[in-house]
Amino acid sequence: MVSFSKLLTVLSIVALSVAQTFQRLGACPTLGCVLPPDQTDFLAGQYFDIRLEVHAPVNGSEANGGVPDPNFTFTIAKANGTPQSAASFFKIAEPKLETWNFTWYEDLFAQDAHSPSVVRVTSKAYRRVALYEPGDYVATLTYYNGTKTVANWFVRPLSTQKKAKNVILFIGDGMTTNMITAARLIAHKSINGKYQTKMQMDQFPVLGHQMAGSSSSGRTHSLDSYITDSANSASALYSGHKSTVNAMGVYADSSADPFDDPKVETIVELLTRIWGSAIGVVSTAFIADATPIALTGHTRLRSQYGVLIDQALRGVSNYTWTKYTGADVFFGAGAEQFIAGSGSFQGKDYYKEFSNAGYSISMNKTSMLAASNTTKALGIFCTSNLPVWLDRNVYKDNLNKTSNDPSGNKKPALDLPGLKEMTLKAIDVLHARGGSKGFFMMSEAASIDKQMHTLDYDRALGDLLELDDTIKATIEKLRAMGELNQTLIIVTADHGHGFDVFGSADTKYLSSKTNDREKRNAIGVYTNSGLSQYTVTNASISYNTGVNFPVNWDPRYTLAQGLGANPDHRENYRVHKSGPRLPATNITGYPVDDYFVNPTDNPDGFTVNGTLPTNEAQGVHSLTDVPVFAMGPCQELFGGVYGNIDIFFNMANCLGLGQPSDTSATNTTSAGTATASPFPFTGAAPTKRVQRGLLVGMLAFMISIGWFAFTL
């Protein structure tokens, strides 16, 4: 064991070497880690956990002898106040010391050489605490004989008044301004530059931009990042705390357990606890997917689908936390987590678990529409994700190719609702159940993102138009119900894709040419791009999809469009009539994660070699700020440019969720309701339930991340 003074010398050298992309632990540039980290904002009264870690690298550029300090201390001080030990500050017992090891790679060269850096860790976690007084706090971790890691925390001003009865948050997953522009062009007819019909989003009174990608602090296990995924971006929108790729409702720590990371309370948990409002979750994705499930999920590992569904029904059960007994409405897909079997938690039948908890169960549109409005409602309409709008409304034959019946009988699910039907029915239930307490609903158009990933621009834009159509119908319904003026409606996205339209393609000319360079000359740019042919009436085509959608999805002159980040693929710029696109595949003789042009995709197109790592089969998310449209009470809070966490703080402000004390006695856990209640730590180790899930989760995690492994 080396002396601490020697360690300090090493540390000062280390400081220069950490300016790299691969990181030991996000939000922890030094060897002492405080989570929530420096610069964190809190809502007054919002529950959270604290995780402290002291790292001792065994090898690699930061090696300090590999003995982590077991005697670190941690204090908290209100601005200009006297630092107190955290246990004293929160009036809780001092938690036990934990220890573990983990490994990471310092860069791609180290990864190629399979030379991981090993780190030994000492740690403590303080569970379910809260800060009630607005203002600045200083949290200080002291370790290695005087080295300090300081976290400056800020509790935002109180917001005890509920200004909006209801909040509806529409999320177009992966939706950028560029996509809205393209969708407008194909669906809304213009005469000499003046649109004759309007998108609903374009009619919102307030526009903002949220810094979705760039401000993701990326507290990943070992890597920080400025490109976000839907888990950590949803988490920022719902909790006001930035998280990590693959994480939701927690700050990711370096321990192996994906369910012991320090949690933060979400808007759904706060609203349930403080006002008892009704809660609705609607998505065209599987319900356990990041965007819907992050409303209640707390894990570093989004792929823990089964556990997450259980959390959505029963709340967190391995640690004392907000009491939560399930949303009033869940409408979406993902029957895998409900059918008894390998996809469900502990192999149980979750249709039955929900039914036992008092939910009506719908497995098709007809049943959903007939369900009682006064009963909690679960609607799971198929396995995987909901087929997209284009297949449900234009190329309907593709539905017959599926085997996605939500009962698991391998037949196609044909009686499917769309986002609009699910959303409008959800409003009926939420209105009936919320009563004077109002409701909160998140309604997600998930396949804008999913179809952009596979470069299926038409399907992505179709689902974007379905979202807009849904928003329009929602506003009309709320107006008819007399609820519109009391409802804050927000439309936003969680991140972008680098998509844009750059001209038109003469698909007839493109197809007639025999080599790639000649085919590219079918693209018309600037003046040669012409006008949208998707809105030109054609007597032989009628989809009966209404005025908010294209008249013709397969005109001769289409949009020339695409992403800046691609796998190898081929483009012919025509709609994929026979089903969703698969742009790249692996091929015999190469590793399974090495992707090339899919030979059956656009055989008459020209080849575009990719810009992404060859183990990426799809496009990826991008950095861009995404738009926010707002109307209703508090709409003025959503103009201008701000961080994604401000969406949470603005909604919380409008809902009066920033509380000066723990006033929600009827909606808290049995473990107590005191301001900073001590409760018996039955050991920081996760429960058995979580331990079981962990094994599967760890494997998925290691596969998904690829370049670091735990030494357990």
Judged by CB under 8 A, which of 166, 246, 296, 385 binds its own copies? 246
Instruction: Provide the mask over 159-178, with x wherever binding to its own copies is found by CB under 8 A and - wherever it is not.
Output: -----------------xxx
Residues 548-567 that bind its own copies (CB under 8 A): 555-557, 560-565
Tokens standing for residue 223: 């890597």
CB of 661 to its own copies, least distance (A): 27
Closer residue to its own copies, CB minimum distance, 356 or 609: 609
CB of 630 to its own copies, least distance (A): 10
How far the first Cα of the chain sits from its last, in Å, is 22
| 65-69-71 Cα angle (round to 5) | 160
**Does 148 participate in binding its own copies (rule CB under 8 A)?**
no
Annotated binding-site residues for Zn(2+) read: 173, 449, 453, 494-495, 621
CB of 110 to its own copies, least distance (A): 11
Q: Which stretch binds its own copies (CB under 8 A): 61-69, 77-85, 401-409, 525-533?
A: 525-533
Judged by CB under 8 A, which of 296, 362, 492, 504 binds its own copies? 504
Closer residue to its own copies, CB minimum distance, 13 or 357: 13
| 251: Cβ contacts below 8 Å, ≥ 6 apart | 27, 35, 36, 37, 51, 219, 241, 243, 244, 261, 262, 264
| 183: Cβ contacts below 8 Å, ≥ 6 apart | 199, 461, 464, 465, 468
Question: Helix crossing, 230-239 with 645-654: angle to 10°?
Answer: 30
d(Cα 165, Cα 435) in Å, to the nearest integer? Answer: 10
Instruction: Provide the mask over 19-38, with x wherever binding to its own copies is found by CB under 8 A and - wherever it is not.
Output: xxxxx---x---------xx
**Does 516 participate in binding its own copies (rule CB under 8 A)?**
yes
Q: Which stretch binds its own copies (CB under 8 A): 127-135, 320-328, 362-370, 636-644?
A: 636-644
CB of 14 to its own copies, least distance (A): 14
CB of 382 to its own copies, least distance (A): 27
| 222-227-233 Cα angle (round to 5) | 95
Closer residue to its own copies, CB minimum distance, 97 or 612: 612
DSSP assignment of 255-315 equals SS-TT-SPBB--HHHHHHHHT--EEEEEEEEETTSHHHHTTT--BS-TT-HHHHHHHHHH-
d(Cα 668, Cα 274) in Å, to the nearest integer? Answer: 9
Annotated binding-site residues for Mg(2+) read: 173, 289, 291, 444
Q: Which stretch binds its own copies (CB under 8 A): 274-282, 305-313, 415-423, 528-536?
A: 528-536
Closer residue to its own copies, CB minimum distance, 169 or 560: 560
**Does 543 participate in binding its own copies (rule CB under 8 A)?**
no
Residues 91-130 that bind its own copies (CB under 8 A): 107-109
| 290-295-297 Cα angle (round to 5) | 70
- Residue 173's nearest CA partner among 425, 498, 464, 473 is 464
Closer residue to its own copies, CB minimum distance, 581 or 621: 621
CB of 282 to its own copies, least distance (A): 25
Closer residue to its own copies, CB minimum distance, 366 or 512: 512
Residues 272-331 that bind its own copies (CB under 8 A): none
The dihedral through the CA atoms of 262, 266, 269, 273 has a sign that is positive
The amino acid at residue 520 is R
DSSP assignment of 15-49 equals HHHT-SSB-SSTT--SSEEEES-TTEEE-TT--EE
CB of 228 to its own copies, least distance (A): 8
CB 234 within 8 A of CB 660: no
* Size of interface with its own copies, in residues (CB under 8 A): 122
- Out of 216, 230, 254, 277, pick the active-site residue: 230
Our answer to whether residue 230 is catalytic in this structure is: yes
CB of 77 to its own copies, least distance (A): 19
CB of 224 to its own copies, least distance (A): 5
Judged by CB under 8 A, which of 184, 302, 376, 576 binds its own copies? 184
Judged by CB under 8 A, which of 64, 117, 149, 244 binds its own copies? 244
Name the burial class of residue 513, with classes exposed (0-12), middle (13-18) and buried (19+) by CB atoms within 10 angstroms of its CB: middle
Instruction: Provide the mask over 188-227, with x wherever binding to its own copies is found by CB under 8 A and - wherever it is not.
Output: --xxxxxx-----xxxxxxxxx-x-xxxxxxxx--xxxxx
C-alpha radius of gyration, the chain, whole number: 26
CB 38 within 8 A of CB 150: yes
Q: Which stretch binds its own copies (CB under 8 A): 85-93, 255-263, 341-349, 517-525?
A: 517-525
Residues 564-623 that bind its own copies (CB under 8 A): 564-565, 571, 594, 607-616, 620-623
* Cα of 539 vs its chain's centroid, Å: 43
- Residue 452's nearest CA partner among 444, 442, 443, 462 is 462
**Does 392 participate in binding its own copies (rule CB under 8 A)?**
no
For 625, other C-beta atoms within 10 Å of its C-beta total 22
| 647: Cβ contacts below 8 Å, ≥ 6 apart | 210, 236, 237, 490, 492, 628, 638
Residues 397-456 that bind its own copies (CB under 8 A): none
Annotated binding-site residues read: 173, 289, 291, 444, 449, 453, 494-495, 621
- Residue 236's nearest CA partner among 216, 207, 262, 208 is 216
Closer residue to its own copies, CB minimum distance, 419 or 608: 608
**Does 40 participate in binding its own copies (rule CB under 8 A)?**
yes
Judged by CB under 8 A, which of 97, 484, 705, 709 binds its own copies? 705
**Does 157 participate in binding its own copies (rule CB under 8 A)?**
no
**Does 185 participate in binding its own copies (rule CB under 8 A)?**
yes
Residue in the block written with tokens 């993102």: 449
Catalytic residues: 230
